[in-house]
Amino acid sequence: MSYLAGNTGPIDYDALQRVRDLFLEHEPLVTHHDLGDRLDPQLELAISVDEGFGDSPRGRFDIVWTERDYYHFHYTEADGIDFRFDRHPEPHAPEKHFHEPPSADRRVASCIEVEQVEIVTRAVLKCWRTALNRDDPSLVNTQSNPP
Amino acid sequence: MNPDPIEEYDDVNEAAVTDWKRETTTRERIKLVITRTTEPTPASKIAEKARASKPVVRDELNELTEIGLVEKIDGGQGALYKRNDQMYIYQQVVKLHEEYSEDELVETLQELKQTVQEIRTRHGVESPAELAQQLDPDDQDGWEDHTTWQTAQKNLYLAKAAISFYDARKVVA
């Protein structure tokens, strides 16, 4: 499902293909990916990864990107945590916001300020990977990773 | 692949930009930026987004204009550039022909019409713009319908164009 409130423009299949390709190029933990058909009006990219936080064996990203560069990257684990990087009009938060783990309900400003699909995807991958390597989901929305 | 998974950075945004620049050529970045630019935009703005120098951007944009990928609009304040929408539609049609048979396109077109009809009936409005006017900012399901409607409407017209291309090819072949 789409979590995008506001006037987002149509979902962008070509952008989602780019997101998928970047995950595949950058992330050896990707096990499955599923992007529907080009004309599907409820298009979503699903990407499964072979490692989760804490006891969770795996996780999944559900991703939507629109022609106006609005997006959500929703991370979820079966019986585990949820978090989400969003950009869309939102009355209760800045346009670029983050839904915090463990349940992706509370909204705070996002650490991701860049806007283009090629750059946002790389930033999301870094944020998630840094937190995963430290096994601490509270670090996902963190701008810096000092030594 | 990331050789060192424990990567250090001061700012994840800058680190992502650095990676993008390292993994692409300047020309690739300019092309990526301009093909997502739908409003007339000065070369300086394209240069900023593509992380490229202005002279290189002007050269590349002029080349892309010559081959029809980019539209150049001469204005009082200097040239503005945007993606050529006709070329964009043509490219979408080519991709649809690669991914769908003619019968599948006709079938999908009917499904898209039905999706639009369902949303229209559910909300009692005639267009996505009209729906947007009456939606509460917190109405999650309503906004999901709005995005679906915008997407279905665009896809419907692209499917129609792709079907027309199939028909036209039969005549010119």
The dihedral sign for the CA sequence B91, A121, B13, A83: positive
Phi-psi region of A54 (alpha: psi -120 to 50; beta: other; left: phi over 0): left
H or E segment to which residue B125 belongs: none
pLDDT per position in chain B (173 positions), as tens? Answer: 444 456 899 999 999 999 999 999 999 999 999 999 999 999 999 999 999 999 999 999 999 999 999 999 997 878 999 999 999 999 999 999 999 999 999 999 999 999 999 999 999 999 999 999 999 988 989 999 999 999 999 999 999 999 999 999 889 97
With contacts defined as CB-CB under 8 Å, which chain A residues touch B12?
Answer: 111-112, 123, 126-127, 142-145
**Rounded Cα–Cα distance for residues B103 and B105 (Å):** 5
Q: What is the pLDDT of residues B109-120, one digit of tens each?
A: 999 999 999 999
B74 lies within 8 A of chain A by CB: no
* Minimum-distance CB partner of B13 among A4, A123, A145: A123
Stretch 61-90 of chain A: residues touching chain B, C-beta under 8 Å: 66-67, 69, 89-90
B85 lies within 8 A of chain A by CB: no
The closest alpha carbon to A44, from A53, A52, A36, belongs to A36
What pLDDT, on the 0 to 100 scale, is given for residue B1? 40
- B98: nearest CA in chain A? A38
What pLDDT, on the 0 to 100 scale, is given for residue A4? 83
Mean pLDDT of A110-133: 97
Provide the token pair at B2. 């990331």
ipTM tops the 0.90 cut: yes
What pLDDT, on the 0 to 100 scale, is given for residue B78? 87
Mean pLDDT of A116-139: 97
**Rounded Cα–Cα distance for residues B22 and B57 (Å):** 18
Q: What residues pair up with A72 in beta bridges, in sequence order?
A: A64, A86
> Beta strand A30-35 with A107-109: parallel, antiparallel or unpaired?
unpaired
With contacts defined as CB-CB under 8 Å, which chain A residues touch B95?
Answer: 38
Residues sharing a CB contact under 8 Å with residue B80, sequence separation 6 or more, in sequence order: B40, B41, B42, B72, B73, B74
3-state secondary structure of B171: helix
For the sheet with B41-42, list strands across it: B41-42, B78-83, B70-75
A55 lies within 8 A of chain B by CB: no
pTM above 0.90, yes or no: yes
